[in-house]
Every structure is written in structure tokens, then in C-alpha cells.
Amino acid sequence: MAVSTACKCTINWPRWMRQKATDGTAIAKALDYSLGRWEALTRFLDDGALPIDNNWIENRIRPIALGRSNWLFAGSLRAGKRAAAVMSLIQSAKLNGHDPYRYLKDVLERLPTQPASRIGELLPHSWTPAVIALTHRVRARCLARTLTIDDSEYLKVYQRALPSLQLAMTLAIRTLALPADVLKLGPRNVKRYDDGTRTLRWSRGKTNVKVEVAIVGELAAALEPFLTNPTLHPTFVRREDGLPYTVDGIGAVFQRACVGYTGRGKRYSPNGDAVPDLGLRDLRAKGATEMYRAGIDIRRIQKLLGHKSVSTTEIYLKRLLAEIVRPNEQPIIALASKPST
């Protein structure tokens, strides 16, 4: 209500000034321009995530505007549309932290053999270099990692990650939610109780089991900006343009962080400092195994994982945690080498 009132009060001033300005003058034209676009100009008052101006976009189209005279003749209308599409891809690649040359070179090399059903993998927000993409597809066919992630691997990826990926990592390891559920969590899942308790409540995607997790500790610290400053965005984890990530999209961002490529012009890390085979599903496994090793009641782990029974959780944990057993110690060689009496 306060925002709407402020908006109404603010528009009174330019209207009043326009009544005083003489038609045809520069100030009159400027006021007419502003009043005719007032709804768009004040849109940021309704959504705090929107910038107050479009300078960011203006700066990105500046090279195109400066070179306009050189591109006066594109050959045909169709050629002009193609040029516009290529320029859009280049700027989108930059927005997602890619080197445009590397991105276009890789995409053009893979395009002839890329299945039409997976063409979305080549879009800037989902793209990963060919070698990493192959690793990612092989990994997707695996049910789980052979070994769980250690703290050094986790911290290495976390320190390289962009804020959106850091938030996704925290949600996965603290709530033990499935990747698709992590990406769907948002302000609507926050529940507040009269005693001040705050929780995250959602239904597990595959089983529809209800899960409710207390917002405390590192989870509370990660979500505090969203709890103190409500937003109209439906999800916590989202791209720079405000749209939610897909599972494939966040997987591509994860792969770049694993190999040491943080985006924004930064190259792959040297000295082989890569972390192989790491994703949100692995962080879920890491969180569950850490709780089990710490002696936490398995029923609590079951509730976080969203399993329907404790036996399902036991099977899940046994698949992740190999039990150490002694080898066959019956002597064979020792008996053969023993001198006869």
C-alpha cells in the first residue's frame, strides 16, 4: 500500500509541472515522454528485484549502436534477422559468463550431430564445453557416486560458485531435497508459527511425501535475505535474469564450477585443480551420510529424505556407505613354504 501511495504522490509533480510548461518546449516534450511511460518507469517500485533503470542493457547494445553505420546494408531482411540472432547469442553468452568465441566455436562444431531433442543443451544458459558435457551425460546414467564427497571437494566448488549455486548447494546439503525440489523451493514454502519458528515445507517430487524442515543454522543464514526482504520471485535459486533454473541448467553451472571455470571472463583453474563428478544429488547423499555417521536417529534422516519407510532409508545409506570387512586370512602360501618334518 505504501508503494502505491508513493507512486501516486510522485506522479502529481510531473503533471503539475506539465501544466506550467509551454507546449512545444523541450521540457514539455520531456514531461510528455515520462508521463506516457509512467507505468513502465515505476515498475521497480512493485518488485525490488528490478533495476531502477536499463543502463545495463544500454551498455550491452552500445557496440551494436556504434557499428550501425557499418552494418547499414545487411544484404537482405533475412540476413539482418540472422545477424540479430547471432548478436543476441553473443550477448547471452557473455551474460552467462562464457567466452563468446569458445561458445560459438563449440556450438557450431556440435550442431550438425546434436539430436533435435537435446538442442536446448546448446543454449547459453545450459551450455557446457563438449568434454564436460559428455562427462555430465555419463554421470546422469549413474544412480550414485561410488564415494561420497569430502569437505575439501565441497568447499572447493562452493568457493568458486556464483551466489545462486552457493544457495542451491546449501539447500541441498541441509534439507536433503532432490535437485528438482531444491530448484522449486521459494518464499511460498516458508511457514511461520506464532512462537517465532520458521520452516520450509514442501512435497517430495517423486513420492509426494510431505517434508517440513526447521530454518536454523547455516540454512537460516542462507535464506535470511529472502526472509527479511520479501520478493515476488517464485524461487530462491534463480538465474541472473530472474528466471528459475532447470535441473540441466544448474547441472551445467555445477560442471563449470567443478572444473574451475567460474564465468565472468575467468578461465579454468590451472594445476589440474578440478573436482570431478559433483552435483546436487551428491550433496544430498553427503548430507545423509554425515548425519548417519554422527549417530543421528535414522528416522530423522528418513523424514528429510522424504522416504516412506525406514527400510528404504537403510537401503539408500548402505548403497552409499561401504562396510569395512576383513579379508580371507586362511593361510595358503605360508603353509606351502613351511618345511616338512
The answer to whether residue 119 scores a pLDDT higher than 70 is yes
Rounded to whole angstroms, the maximal C-alpha distance in the chain is 125
The answer to whether residue 171 scores a pLDDT higher than 90 is yes
Predicted confidence at residue 5, as pLDDT, reads 54
Predicted confidence at residue 215, as pLDDT, reads 93
- Cα separation, 50 vs 38, whole angstroms: 15
Predicted confidence at residue 146, as pLDDT, reads 41
- Cα separation, 303 vs 280, whole angstroms: 18
Q: 299: which 3 cell numbers?
A: 528416522
Give SS3 for 264.
coil
Q: How confident is the model at residue 169 (pLDDT cuts 50, 70, 90)?
A: very high
Q: pTM for this structure?
A: 0.55
Q: Which residue has the cell 593361510?
A: 331
Task: Say which amino acid occupies 80.
Answer: G
Predicted confidence at residue 207, as pLDDT, reads 77
The answer to whether residue 175 scores a pLDDT higher than 90 is yes
Predicted confidence at residue 199, as pLDDT, reads 93
- Taking the alpha carbons at both ends of the chain, their separation in whole angstroms is 102
The pLDDT tens digits for 240-297 are 878 888 888 888 888 778 776 655 444 444 444 667 667 888 888 888 989 988 899 9
The answer to whether residue 145 scores a pLDDT higher than 80 is no
Q: 243: which 3 cell numbers?
A: 528466471
Average pLDDT over the chain reads 80
Q: Closest Cα partner for 110 from 88, 97, 92, 126? A: 126
212 beta partners:
201
Predicted confidence at residue 142, as pLDDT, reads 45
Task: Say which amino acid occupies 276.
Answer: P
Predicted confidence at residue 174, as pLDDT, reads 93
CA atoms within 13 A on the CB side of 339: 1
Instruction: Please name the fold of domain 139-320.
Output: hpI Integrase; Chain A (1.10.443)
Predicted confidence at residue 133, as pLDDT, reads 52
Predicted confidence at residue 79, as pLDDT, reads 84
Q: Closest Cα partner for 253 from 192, 187, 171, 164? A: 164
DSSP structural state of residue 196: S
Q: Report how far apart, in Å, the C-alpha atoms of 165 and of each of 56, 96, 113 are.
A: 23, 13, 30
Where do the structural domains in the chain lie, given as residue ranges?
139-320
Question: What mean pLDDT do residues 88-113 have?
Answer: 85
Number of Cβ within 10 Å of residue 238's Cβ equals: 19
- Cα separation, 230 vs 215, whole angstroms: 16
- Cα separation, 271 vs 156, whole angstroms: 14
Distance between alpha carbon 275 and the CA centroid of its chain, in Å?
A: 18
User: 303 vs 337, which has greater pLDDT?
Assistant: 303
> What is the percent of the chain with per-residue pLDDT over 70, rounded to a whole number?
81
Asked if 232 contacts 49 with a C-beta cutoff of 8 angstroms, the reply is yes
- Cα separation, 12 vs 9, whole angstroms: 5
The answer to whether residue 69 scores a pLDDT higher than 90 is no
Strands 198-203 and 190-192: antiparallel
Asked if 191 contacts 198 with a C-beta cutoff of 8 angstroms, the reply is yes
Distance between alpha carbon 280 and the CA centroid of its chain, in Å?
A: 10
Predicted confidence at residue 143, as pLDDT, reads 42
Task: Say which amino acid occupies 76.
Answer: S
